[in-house]
Amino acid sequence: MSVNEDGIQSGSDSFWEVGKYMRTVKRAENGFDLCNHMKKLISERAEIEKKYSGMLSEWAKKWNGFLDKGAEYGTTQGAWRGVLTEADHVADLHTEMAERLMLEVHATIKVWQKENYHKSMMHFKETKDFEENFRKAQKPWAKRLTKVVAAKKDYHAACRTEKSTANQENNARGDTTVSQDQLKKLQDKLRKCQTEVEGTREKYNAAVNDLNGYNAKYIEDMSEVYSRCQEFEQKRIEFFKKTLFQLHACLDLSVESRFSQIYTSLHATIGNMDYNKDLKWWSANYGVDMPMHWPTFEEYSPELQSISRRGKANLTAGEGGIMITSIKHSRDGSYGSYTNEGSLEPPPSQPQMSYNSQNSYGAASSGGPADREETPQMEKKEYDSSLNPFGDDDDEEEDEYEEYDHREEEDHKDHNENQTNCSRVSSHQHQDTSCSDKVLESRGVFTSTDSLSSAGQTPSNRSSPMPKPRSKPSKPSKPAKPSGLPASPALSLSGSAGVSPPSQPSEPK
């Protein structure tokens, strides 16, 4: 049994017990909280839909990027993209779903809640009215119930006293030690208790009858208030049912025509996969059906040779090559050149070697045969007057250069005669001379060893250097017109150790 706020013990958990109507009042107050929970449910589902939509979009974007750079191709790639297109369309639908949940469902609950629940300082007006009406309807019946409980308590107490006194009186009759006066007192007390039991019994019966007589009124008043509570709760349940139907309408995509069209299109896209088309496309773009420029015979072209020469000219001195920087035309610019009066043209089987006269003397004064370095000379070509950018030479310049060439030829002759005489004496020391050295000797070009031998000296006892060629005038040189045999073009070389270009005046830039 429970004790209510009026201090009355309730015999059961029935609504009719005193104070048990509070559960019904609390139900009306719970309706307001349920509206809040419903709004929270809708907002969370809308947030889930937004996140799901965003995740679908990000997923489709990621895999579209994969397909853009991946290995899939053809109609199979189209099927892949069909799945991603479905994801994009479904994402759009879920975005709209989230917006509808908030605009249609969530907003409706908020408006209905505001219209049906009017909150005061501490309570809602509706729940406070229900509580007061229940209390008012139950108060008369609660008073009668209080009387019944009190009468019952008095009656049960009188019964216990009467039973205890009866036991004492029976014991006193059998006890000889009890006097007659004591026995008489116990008998009087027993009669009083019996009288009190009868009186409390009558009161208890009267209170119960009065309570039962008021039960009909009590039930009517309480039922009236309860029906109003039921109507209020019915209104809330009906509203929630309508709201959940709206929620269903927002969530159910099966009735959405666009949703069914999405999967119809996806089914058709997957059905368009054709391995014949894909294999044919691959063959045309990467396989046996690709066009091919088969190699054919190509005639030699001088342009290709010039291109290859330009490529070789990129070698630098640090890589061990010789870079041709320029080609200058000169008339017998070195001791290695030949004239009409000099030696004959070397046979084609032997390489022609050209040495600067200054390098020859330098080699004779610095070292032995190990210091010799040979440089192939370009073949003689006929002089082309159209290559002269300066036109005809002046008469004064012609006379000056003729005089210079004459002096240089005389120096060559004297030197060659001395070298021939010396070589006869020390011929046994030069039996290992190479064929190329003989060719150079026949053309008037000699190495450091030859120069030392011709002078009759060794590197340790040489006394004076070989005569040096006269330098040309400081005036800029111009190519002379060919007379007799054509002059051989001299190569200007750089990057070769021990070999330097002939001492010639620089051309104007």
Query: How many CB atoms are located within 10 Å of the residue 79 CB?
Result: 16
Tokens for 375?
Answer: 């440089």
pLDDT for residue 259 = 86
Decide the pairing of beta strands 9-10 and 2-3: antiparallel
Which is nearest to 99 in space by CA: 303, 250, 283, 253? 250
Q: Which residues contact 342 (CB under 8 A, 6 or more apart)?
A: 412, 443, 444
Residue type, 83: V
| pLDDT score recorded for residue 10 | 57
pLDDT per residue as tens, the chain (509 positions): 455 555 555 567 899 999 999 999 999 999 999 999 999 999 999 999 999 999 999 999 999 999 999 899 999 999 999 999 999 999 999 999 999 999 999 999 999 999 999 988 788 888 999 999 999 999 999 999 999 999 999 999 999 998 998 888 888 877 777 788 888 888 888 889 989 999 999 999 999 999 999 999 999 999 999 999 999 999 999 999 999 999 999 998 888 888 888 989 999 999 999 999 999 999 999 999 999 998 999 888 887 665 555 554 554 444 455 555 655 555 444 444 444 444 444 444 444 444 343 443 333 334 443 444 444 444 444 555 555 555 554 555 556 666 766 777 777 777 677 676 655 645 544 444 444 455 455 555 444 444 444 444 444 444 444 445 455 455 444 444 444 444 444 433 334 344 444 444 444 43
> If we measure between CA atoms, which residue out of 500, 498, 472 comes closest to residue 365?
498
Fill in the amino acid letter for 188: D
Which residues contact residue 248 at a Cβ distance below 8 angstroms, ignoring those fewer than 6 apart? none
Nearest to 487 by CA among 416, 396, 419, 401: 401
CB–CB of 189/105 below 8 Å? no
Closest CA to 446 of 372, 360, 333, 351: 360
Rounded Cα–Cα distance for residues 506 and 509 (Å): 9
Which is nearest to 143 in space by CA: 217, 38, 225? 217
Rounded to 5 degrees, φ, ψ at 9 are -75, 130
Count of CB atoms within 10 A of residue 372's CB? 23
Same fold, 22-117+253-288 and 138-234: no
Q: Please count the other Cβ atoms lying within 10 Å of the Cβ belonging to residue 145.
A: 23
Secondary structure, 3-state, 399-450: HHHHHHHHHHHHHHHHHHHHHHHHHHHCHHHHCCCCHHHHHHHHCCCCCHHH
> Helices 22-69 and 125-174: crossing angle, nearest 10°?
130
> What is the per-residue pLDDT for 157?
92
C-alpha 128, offset from chain centre: 62
Would you list the domain boundaries of the chain? Answer: 22-117+253-288, 138-234
Give burial (CB, 10 Å; 0-12/13-18/19+) of 1. Answer: exposed
Residue 501, pLDDT score? 45
pLDDT value, residue 396 = 55
Retrieve residue 221's tokens.
């008043």
Three-state DSSP string of 320-385 = CCCEEEEEECCCCCCCCCCCCCCCCCCCCCCCCECCCHHHHHHHHHHCCHHHCCCCECCCCCCCCH
Residues 6 or more apart whose Cβ sits within 8 Å of residue 415? 444, 466, 467
138-234: CATH class: mainly alpha
The sign of the torsion formed by the CA atoms of 266, 269, 273, 279 equals negative
On whether the pTM is more than 0.85, the answer is: no
Coil vs helix vs strand at 491: strand
Distance between CA atoms of residues 187 and 193, nearest Å: 10
Local structure of 485: helix, strand or coil: coil
Distance separating alpha carbons of residues 238 and 78, to the nearest angstrom: 50
**Nearest Cα to 12, choosing from 21, 2, 22?**
2
Q: Which CATH architecture has domain 22-117+253-288?
A: Up-down Bundle (1.20)
Residue 247's pLDDT is: 92
Q: First-to-last CA distance in the chain? A: 128
From the list 147, 181, 49, 25, the residue with the least C-alpha distance to 105 is 49
The distance of Cα 362 from the centroid of its chain, to the nearest Å, equals: 70
